Amino acid sequence: MFCLHCGKEIGDNAPVCPYCGGRNSAANTKRELFGLLGFGLSLATIIPFASAFSLPALGLSITGIVRAKKQGSSMRLAIAGTVISAIVLIGNILMYAGVF
Q: Evaluate whether 70 touches 92 at the Cβ level (below 8 Å).
A: no
User: Segment 11-50, which members bind Zn ion (CB under 5 A)?
Assistant: 17, 19-20, 22
Residues 6+ apart with CB under 8 A from 59: 38
Q: Could you say whether residue 2 binds Zn ion (CB under 5 A)?
A: no
- Shortest approach of Zn ion to residue 21 CB, angstroms? 7
User: Segment 48-77, which members bind Zn ion (CB under 5 A)?
Assistant: none
d(CA 95, CA 36): 27
- Shortest approach of Zn ion to residue 98 CB, angstroms? 57
- Shortest approach of Zn ion to residue 13 CB, angstroms? 15
Q: Evaluate whether 42 touches 85 at the Cβ level (below 8 Å).
A: yes
